[in-house]
Amino acid sequence: MDFSLLSFAELLVFFTLVNPSLSSDSHESSSLILPLKAQLIPNKLSFHHNVSLTVSLAVGSPPQQVTMVLDTGSELSWLRCKKTPTAPFSFSPHLSTSYHPIPCSSPTCTTRTRDFTVPVSCDSNKLCHAILSYADASSVEGNLAMDSFRFGNSGLPGMVFGCMDSGTSSNPDEDSRTTGLIGMNRGSLSFVSQMGFRQFSYCISGRDSSGVLLFGEANFPWLRPLNYTPLVQISTPLPYFDRVAYTVQLEGIRVSGTLLSLPKSIFEPDHTGAGQTMVDSGTQFTFLLGPVYTALKNEFLRQTKTILRPLNDPNFVFQGAMDLCFRVELSRAALPALPSVNLMFRGVEMIVSGEKLLYRVPGMTRGSDAVYCFTFGNSDLLGVEAYVIGHHHQQNMWMEFDLAKSRVGLAEVRCDLASQRLGLAS
């Protein structure tokens, strides 16, 4: 799911092929390891920056170089097929001899698009027409097509994607740098599903520009055993439940040793599917439904009342959903020792501690103080009926998405050191 509205840096991913001889027939037994590089690119909006994971690929015959946003919360990959003043980069299908639009009578159009939020339709040329909408109120539309996608000497000759010619955007800054999006969820038309990989992992460093993106199995002697939590799967379609998201079961939250006094049922999806917990690399911070967020906010305030000074500005809500902010002296070398927040999933806990708990608002000061905001937000203020675990809280963790065994695994690791061990550090 693309919560690009909520992000604050751009992560550039460059493909480096570890096994150049890998062909489309050998995905399941081989792995691709890719370096992850972070770069801060401020957006034009006040206190609003953009994080996206982007990959550089070659598409079509002859190949055209494109840059695409990597999104684990989306299914269909798409390319912008029409230039605009704010989006100068595009793919030109008429220049590719391997480009084939998909008719609306095709099984790809009639059956493999069932998890799209907006049902596909048939345009005037009897081609499969799709509209994709995202949580930040942006959307794109165009036709489904097939073409070759290549990276290094590997690729897929018949990748299904969207060739989009119109849409609305909340982020022209990102549009000016990218050509489209790669969907990485569990849907049948996602990039990872079409490529045949049944596992992928990433590891993002919290301090520098290094990181790892891996397609395939992670078999490294230095990687400690992962702890796993099963994916929540509901076979019956529900209006507010995303069946192909990486949904896990949040069961509780602890602040230091204090368990929030909340019923377990508050973390479970209701009869409409609202209230699922999604692990989403497309979102920067973590967002909780209102009652849970309020309980966490109050407990964090209680435990930090002697060490942190609240901003106490009811008119300031960072990124529209984060209303707990603090004043910290500019002269202070480091943040005080903070109580950790443990997200308790079925079978595993994610510990959020130290600097990952507070984020300094860029360019904002109050007198001689900097402004820091709590890195958990209220999803109710976003109009999102879900818990979303953002990648800020996944820093320095090996995050594995195992489609074959329907589970998500994690283990704490120094991601900068992981990059060095794999020979990917710059």
Residues known to be catalytic: 71, 280
Tell me if residue 81 falls in helix, strand or coil: coil
Q: Copy the structure tokens of residue 102.
A: 């998909």
If you search the block for the tokens 């902010």, which residue do you land on? 325
User: Apex CA 230: angle with CA 218 and CA 255, to 5°?
Assistant: 100
CB 131 within 8 A of CB 162: no
Torsion of CA 151, 157, 158, 159, to 10 degrees: 0
Cα separation, 3 vs 49, in Å, equals 12
Tell me if residue 381 falls in helix, strand or coil: helix
Whole-number Cα distances in Å, 408 to 2, 60, 227, 228, 403: 19, 33, 8, 6, 9
Q: Copy the structure tokens of residue 119.
A: 């049902």
| Residue 193 DSSP label | H
| Residue 3 DSSP label | -
Given CA atoms 75, 79, 84, 88 in this order, what sign does their dihedral have?
A: positive
Backbone angles phi, psi at 271, to 5 degrees: -65, -15
Cα separation, 211 vs 10, in Å, equals 13
As beta bridge partners, residue 131 has: 141
CB 4 within 8 A of CB 43: no
- Own/partner pairs, 298-303, CB within 8 angstroms, 24+ separation: 299/255, 299/258, 299/260, 300/255, 300/324, 300/339, 300/341, 300/374, 303/255, 303/256, 303/258, 303/339
- Own/partner pairs, 137-142, CB within 8 angstroms, 24+ separation: 137/5, 137/168, 137/170, 138/2, 138/4, 138/167, 138/168, 138/169, 138/170, 138/171, 139/167, 139/168, 140/78, 140/80, 140/164, 140/166, 140/167, 141/165, 141/166, 141/167, 142/78, 142/81, 142/166
Tell me if residue 258 falls in helix, strand or coil: strand
As beta bridge partners, residue 58 has: 65, 150
